[in-house]
């Protein structure tokens, strides 16, 4: 399970940065009168997808931190 969440975090993180770069390129191209995505997605909409992807990255990272803290706390408590 750790490996799966690790790879999911990496995929979402990389995908978010690719979409952010695409949003910037699309905005610059729109300013000079061209389009890359043919109007299907606006740069603002792409940035919304970036925010959603990074939100998943943060949630997965916090979940991993919570699991590691819980396992550390249970090992330290003598019963």
What CA–CA distance (Å, rounded) separates 12 from 24? 18
**Stated pTM of the model:** 0.82
Question: Which range of residues forms the domain containing residue 53?
Answer: 2-73
The secondary structure of residue 32, as a DSSP letter, is: T
pLDDT digits (tens, 9 = 90+) for 9-58: 999 999 999 999 999 999 999 999 999 998 899 999 999 999 999 999 99
In a domain, 16, yes or no: yes
CA-based Rg of the chain, rounded to a whole angstrom?
19
Residue 46, phi then psi, degrees to nearest 5: -65, -40
In a domain, 49, yes or no: yes
In a domain, 79, yes or no: no
The domain tally of the chain equals 1
In a domain, 53, yes or no: yes
Residue 79, pLDDT score:
58
């Amino acid at each position: 399970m750790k490996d799966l969440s690790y790879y999911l975090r990496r995929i979402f993180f990389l995908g978010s940065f690719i979409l952010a770069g695409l949003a910037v390129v699309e905005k610059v191209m729109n300013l000079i009168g061209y389009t890359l995505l043919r109007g299907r997605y606006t740069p603002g909409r792409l940035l919304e997808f970036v925010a959603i992807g990074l939100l998943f990255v943060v949630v997965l990272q916090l979940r991993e931190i919570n699991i590691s803290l819980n396992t550390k706390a249970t090992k330290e408590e003598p019963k």
